[in-house]
Amino acid sequence: MTQEIRILPRVPGLPPSRFFPPAWTADANGLIGFGGKLSPEWLFDAYQHGIFPWPIWGDQDPMAWWSLDPRAIIQFDQFHVSRRMRRTIRSRKFEITFNRDFRGVIHGCATSPGRLGSTWLTGSMIAAYIRFHVLGHAYSVEAWLDSQLAGGVYGVALGGLFAAESMFYRVRDASKVALVELVAHLSKQGYVLIDIQQLTKLTASLGAIEIPRDEYLERLAEAIGKPVSFGFESGMSGESPFLLA
């Protein structure tokens, strides 16, 4: 019996990984493998190759690493903001800031209603992304109401890629407003790829789409080479108007 030999494609522009097999060798569920570390070096290498950590057994080792197929993204030209949401944003109900409270946002993503006890954001994951933030690779957008953190979103930035990791709200529409402000800001800064990993009902309503992993990796290779800056250094805060108005 002749065994079929699969010739793995190469993605021009993606450097060899220090720690992972190629993303396209993942199994049918997108699983790359187990083990490794949640160190900045491992995280940087993972995102640079279309891979991300997602624990299966909580804080118990080993860590699971994934590269999904298809992959969900937000495209700037297809991003949809409803009239109601535009009215909410223009009302200035929420104060929007960048990187004022990264720790508060990531803890909110782990503990907001419906998340506590069922979140993938374990203690070790939170600590790893806070360290990534301090090093200037992860950023947050906050929505405040009456000086209280009402919602927000955080993610990882590499070149022209922004990988939006998670968002939360304690007040209706707070996370949506933060996401809209984030997309507007990324567009202004020159980002070319917003990765959201998996499509949800909310992100689909905003115009997010799924693309094959091979196409995602091609876009990723182009994005990580872009000389793009988020615009706010880690630990600094800033306010943003609604840039899509």
Q: What is the pLDDT of residues 224-238, one digit of tens each?
A: 999 999 986 544 445
Helices 174-189 and 83-90, packing angle to 10 deg? 90
**Mean pLDDT, to the nearest integer, of 132-160?**
97
CATH classification of 72-239 is 3.40.630.70, yes or no?
yes
Pick from 198, 99, 106: nearest CA to 141: 99
Stretch(es) of the chain classified as CATH 3.30.70.3550:
23-69
Average pLDDT over residues 36-45: 96
pLDDT of residue 245: 42
Identify the weakest region by mean pLDDT among 12-21, 75-84, 110-119, 121-130.
110-119
Give the number of other Cβ atoms within 10 Å of residue 39's Cβ.
13
Residue 50: name the closest of 75, 30, 74 by CA.
30
Residue 57 confidence (pLDDT) = 80
DSSP state of 18: S
- One of 3.40.50.720, 3.20.20.10, 3.30.70.3550, 2.40.270.10 is the CATH number of 23-69, namely 3.30.70.3550
Residues carrying CATH 3.40.630.70, the chain: 72-239
Nearest one of 57, 89, 37 to 242, comparing CA atoms? 89
pLDDT of residue 52: 97
